[in-house]
A and B are shown apart, each in its own frame.
Chain A
């Protein structure tokens, strides 16, 4: 019998190194978007550090970043899930306000802050569920359906509050206040801690749980997913519910950090949130996206404005630079995808 060439140890070794090299290049390829985004984020940060070392070497800037980023980063996390399942939710800014409006309704009736807080979460969940139902059962594209519900919930808020803002001083005496807006060891804002917690939970479910597997499959090819027995509708509804839930939570956080509730609260978060998701490499065509990318995307969006101000430029440059970064990065993503996938 002839000996197999692979029996030579030298060749076997070289084979195993090629396999290893292939493995590494495969990993690089798989994570190319995340790696590229990480490098971009570090470069932007390093640039600001170089331009204005005083600001970017102090705790203050990081404190304020940890306070401002969470509000849209939080909503960008479940939004990532919705976009992975090939839908989009544009209604969350009003759902933020609708959650707090529900809190107010229950608080006025019961004078119980915790009860109000749970009503807020429930209201958010309900709004998300409604979005999911309209999209899945009536087959209305989510882009359109959630523009509709965005007006609907804002309208409900306006009607129930008569368009009037309201103080929330009552929250200050409860445990909720330090729990949502306190500081860990006097250094790390709870807003930031919650963002990390929710990101971690979302990461876990997306990558380690059947729900996440089904979310990717649903967005990638809903027909295949259905044929193979994935409950596509349920997966989509859950994703919408999570956006509703987290939006109400974030809305409550914003209001109670100010101890005041504006009925127009939430307006202005829409574009930052969506920009974070898409900057983070989530594909609008579904089936692709990571929580890591979204969180990093939110960081990039958040750092630009204070960075520009600290660098001594006028704040109105911000928009232009946002525009550049977003357009360039999504173009790069498209190129990377075409090359590798």
Chain B
């Protein structure tokens, strides 16, 4: 599998806190990668480096389709085809639905004039086809601050989907969702696979992650503690190893010790 995205020796420190240390990480074309790790392990930080929101510390490299990218920024990453459903959802509560769908990627003409008509029409279309908003109380002009948690999540996912990204990153998308909404979300990940796109899927619930991913990467306190293909081990073995990581900080060491 050829690599769509590769991170080499990426570190990120915030003042005293080393959120990431020498991380090597890759995502293959049409690969679904599950990213696991404790609270504060650095998952969201890794995501924000891939999306150009954070710059890696000196020495780190970001390689997209074999080409090294200098100074990755959010607009550049989105142009390359990276879309994210952030853990914090990244919505603007007092703004309308259509403005949130097109947040940061407004449809404009050459002069920067907004194409409001198209954006509203597209939003209306997405509401019935993707978001499943059928209530007549919701329109493209509704402000998203009044939406439920599931609806807000729907908006964030729809947004990621709409721009036909090559790599879709989902940072704890099922957080706070009902059973049926969670199911929709997992179906969505499988849809990404079928569409030939790639995905990084972050979720604390291993039962969500395991069934839909191809490979699992475990982060622990800012470093990659281990990674393996899903077909290398069963769910029970995975759970067992995750406990070990939590205790020792590594998958490999204990593996060797026990051999």
Name A's B-contacting residues (CB within 8 A). 18-19, 22-23, 26, 30, 208-213, 216-217, 220-221, 223-230, 287-288, 341
Contact = CB atoms under 8 A, between A and B. Distances in A.
B86 interface: yes
Contact of A19 (B90, B136, B146): B136
Nearest to B78: A229
Given A221-B93, A287-B95, A228 B104 contact: yes
B14 to A, nearest CB: 15
Given A30-B141, A209-B113, A225-B104, A22 B136 contact: yes
Contacts of A216: 92, 94-95, 99
B103 A224 contact: yes
B161 to A, nearest CB: 15
Contacts of B53: 226-227
B108 A228 contact: no
State the 5 A-B residue pairs at the shortest beta-carbon distance, nearest first: A228-B104, A229-B74, A229-B104, A220-B92, A224-B90
A224 B114 contact: no
Given A18-B136, A210-B106, A213-B106, A228 B90 contact: yes
A212 B143 CA distance: 17
Interface centre among B48, B99, B114, B145 (most CB of A within 10 A): B114
Contacts of A229: 52, 73-75, 77-78, 104-105
Contacts of A226: 53, 74
A80 to B, nearest CB: 15
Contacts of B106: 210, 213
B69 to A, nearest CB: 15
Given A209-B114, A210-B112, A288 B94 contact: yes
Interface in B95-149: 95, 99, 103-106, 108, 112-114, 116, 136-137, 139, 141-143, 145-146
A248 to B, nearest CB: 25
Interface centre among A23, A208, A288 (most CB of B within 10 A): A208
Contacts of A341: 94, 143, 145-146
B63 interface: no
A197 to B, nearest CB: 19
A145 B112 CA distance: 31
A287 B92 contact: yes
B78 A26 contact: no
A287 B94 contact: yes
A146 to B, nearest CB: 24
A22 B74 CA distance: 38
Interface centre among A26, A213, A287 (most CB of B within 10 A): A213
22 contacts: A19-B136, A22-B136, A26-B142, A30-B141, A208-B113, A208-B114, A209-B108, A210-B114, A216-B92, A221-B90, A224-B89, A224-B90, A226-B53, A226-B74, A227-B48, A227-B86, A228-B103, A228-B104, A229-B104, A287-B92, A288-B94, A341-B146
A229 B48 CA distance: 12
Contacts of A223: 88, 90
B212 interface: no
Interface centre among A212, A223, A227 (most CB of B within 10 A): A227
B112 A225 contact: no
A281 to B, nearest CB: 12
Contacts of A228: 74, 90, 103-105
B91 interface: yes
B103 A230 contact: yes
Contacts of B137: 22
Given A30-B141, A229-B73, A229-B75, A210 B99 contact: no
